Amino acid sequence: MLGEMGMEAAAGQCLYQVVVQGARFSATCSDGHRMVMELLERFHLLLPAQVSPESSPSPDIVADIAGPLTVAPTTVTAYEGSVPAAAAPTPDVSALDANTLPASAEPTLFSEFRDLYLTNLARNRKHPKASGYRQQVYVLKLVEDLVGDKPLNRITVDDANSVARALEVWPAYLHNLPDYKDIPARSVVAKAQKEHPQPLQKGTQRKHILCINAFFHWCVELKAIDQNPFRVVQLTRYKEDVPRKKSPFSVQDLRALFDPVRQLAHAEPHKYWVPMIAMYSGMRVNEIAQLHVADIKSEDVMDEADHVHRIHYFDVTPFRKGQQLKTKHSCRRVPIHSKLIDAGFLCYVDEVRAAGSAHLFPGLPWKEGGPGRAITRWFNRDHLRKLCGITDRKKTFHCFRHTLTSLAERCGIPTSIRRTINGHADGRGIDEARYIARGSLLECKQALEKLLFPELDVVPYSPGQFGPYLAVVTAP
């Protein structure tokens, strides 16, 4: 028996920590309490009849926890003081020792450990539906579909090899293939082995294996299994024969992309503005698509000669609802190039503000992947490939960043300023990491204006050009 569970109430919350043979479970609210009880019951350390996971915690609760654990004493630590109201329950299940799982317990299914792992990941992420997390969900579900939902300790190296072989033939963009997307995973593999559709890139296969390895390494840390069965899958097999580095757009590409006739045909403002903003700023597609009107700002900056410069800029942050950034260095201020101002961008901003829209580009679907996903699909599939005839697979919307960065390097823009504009991390050298300052707003503005962009026949924005569209998408 574990004895009495020390608990203390503060600000209406339940504050305690249960330490069982090295496994540390903590709760700071009723939801956290229920999760602690669920975890203990899952590991066969709790008698459900004694403490129900649905029961509400109270300061004087006494929990009798049974189990054959007698190797080391169990302690319960009561916290003193208060926990901020925003604190979220974060049970730490990453430090379980060899005695956490009783020898008499039946092997736990793969799906149960997967769900526990994903719950743990989601609670430690600011954006649980970000691409990395979605990939974990997708890949682990694929493993279950391929090898079956068997006890975790019965997944073998043969199963690992079979998953790796399945990934070698797994169709790329399967969701776009009607004959494949609604059939079981094993049938997908059998069909692909016969028909040989375009498979996943080796880099994508490698990412999937890394996701699987992360899960099984976690299970090893948990002492649920002795070894990772996917240890036999060598990552060197996924090395690309030819580098897949994307290419910058050529002058001919840019003239085709911003052809006046095609620009005038755009009935939606994001199709007109987002590619242009990407070219003159190097911003990522989601960074542009998720902008709010309030993110278009200006600041008066004084240079070394005491001259004042009014600089309009994009305030790239993750602070508004639905916004998210790739890394912490992505949070930055990107000056608005004079070419955009000359094209009438600030006029468009005023019109969107007057229409009552919070979003700079209203009407975009804010689904998984962010509002930029719809723009990427339209641009890559329809505008770039079909209308402009640019079929080089190394050229996509993201190549606007490659184009701007290449121009900046050719013009001698210091690396620290390029990294600031692009939202990249500082270098790994001691000077870059410790001593060299990132680019200021004025330095970034001067750098962008220095770039030698090709002369394009950009059609200036006409006031009211997207008035009918804005009227429809902002209507109550």
Q: What is the pLDDT of residues 168-227, one digit of tens each?
A: 999 998 888 888 988 999 999 999 999 999 999 888 999 999 999 999 999 999 889 999
273/263 Cα distance (integer angstroms)? 10
Residue 367: the pLDDT is: 83
How many H-runs (helices) and E-runs (strands) does the chain carry? 18, 7
- Segments of the chain scoring below 50 in pLDDT: 1-15, 21-22, 47-105
Residue 103: the pLDDT is: 45
Provide the token pair at 323: 């916004």
Return left, alpha or beta for 209; rule: phi > 0 is left, psi -120 to 50 is alpha, else beta. alpha
Residue 468: the pLDDT is: 95
Provide the token pair at 397: 């919307």
Residue 423: the pLDDT is: 96
Q: Residue 101 in contact with residue 223, Cβ under 8 Å?
A: yes
Residues 6+ apart with CB under 8 A from 170: 188, 189, 192, 199, 200, 205
395/106 Cα distance (integer angstroms)? 53
Residue 182: the pLDDT is: 86
Residue 99: the pLDDT is: 40
Q: Residue 407 in contact with residue 452, Cβ under 8 Å?
A: yes
pTM: 0.67
3-class SS of residue 26: strand
Give Cα 22 distance to the centre of its chain.
32
Residue 126 per-residue DSSP state? S
